[in-house]
Structure 1
Amino acid sequence: MSQPHRSIYEAATACKQCLQQIAELSGLSALAHDEWSHKRLADFNLWISGSGALAKHSLDERLAAQPEVRKVLINVLCLLEVFLGQCQTGEDEVTVPAIGRCTSNDLSESMNGVETIINQLVRISVAIHRSGNAARLDRADQTYKADRHSELRDHLLLLIYANTLSLQEKKAGNINFDVSSQNFTEIQLRLIDGNLRRRHRYLYAQKRLKKYGEEKDSQFHGQKNQPKN
């Protein structure tokens, strides 16, 4: 590895290229035994897909406000690239006999290192995803105001009230639908509040996504309209 990578995108691309080369060129070497190289490439591609490391809205972009986390991921990917380089260097020295798996200690350690690092990438990405979800929910809850969802609240109160009526009351038809809060239990009101908050979170996420898409479209058209030298 000549230079350290400046982004997750660069580091992930380099690792993917190494894995593709190993999968294509391993042939009858120890790395081809039990389809090891192809399985690791598949594992890494799954991580890329799940984390968005090479996506249009990349992991670098999403971690712009968390430089330390971004740096950790880059370092882990750089370490993976080192292990992959060691695998490429050592594979020519070891072949697999007809029975069993036979590798040198160095190559075996490098292969184990690749597997360990890919597992670490998965765990880190899961932690990032969970923390991101929690942060987004916190931001949404900070803007929550129940009176903005009064129509939905009245509808839910009405449904609960209707379900508490007896069959005789329903048949009589002369019903006074009083949906004031004092006519409901604390549990019922908490359930309604939970539904209102979920609705607010959904609308908040939808609004953020729309705004993000508009910003990206604006950037794209701005770059497209720039004069070429």
Structure 2
Amino acid sequence: MEARLEGGEHPCAGRLEVRRGLSWGTVCDADLDQATAHVVCRELQCGSAVSTPGGAHFGQGSGPVWTQAFHCAGNESLLFHCPRGPGHQCGHRQDAGLRCSEFRLVNGSSSCEGRVELQVQGAWAPLCAAHWDLADATVLCHQLNCGSAEATPRGGHFGNGDAPIWPDVFHCVGTEPYLWNCPVSTLGAGACALGNAAAAVCSGGSARAAG
């Protein structure tokens, strides 16, 4: 048994499909809880589950819809290790979707400032700074429990790392709960040359204590 994500804008987002034997099938959105989503993201080396959009958000699948649900605790390394039980009956209009990613701030004086990196398929990549702004940084700061954004220093302020820059661009208003809730577009490589890594400085400690 293995899992994959299909139809998403990057390898760590898409319609959840699970293979049993030789057949790939989809999962009812009512049967995908947060603990199971975390296990799938971990299995795919995609960090943590960020959201689980239902209603065939990433398009309808074409195979069977599995009627078994996974009852993961959340600490399993593979979906195969999770107990299974009867699930919902649904059609492809209720196909479950999943967005994974881990974001972090690195090279700052605390975990609440630094170069913005995201985890994609087990590796960390700096995010492109071409259209990174205070609204985007605010969403990330909230997501990391780091208060609100105070600045987005330019020009490799926190170093550039040695991984290729990830060309996703977030278009946040600033009120979204996670970066992946913001509209995303992808830039060409030219706009994201090495050295043009996004950065954020969050208000940090005091806001975290308040909650």
The question of a shared fold, defined as TM-score above 0.5 by the shorter chain, is answered with no
The structure with the greater share of residues assigned to helix is 1
The structure with the greater share of residues assigned to strand is 2
For Structure 1 versus Structure 2, the TM-score category normalised by the shorter chain is: under 0.3
Q: TM-score, normalised by structure 1?
A: 0.20
Bigger Rg, which one: 1
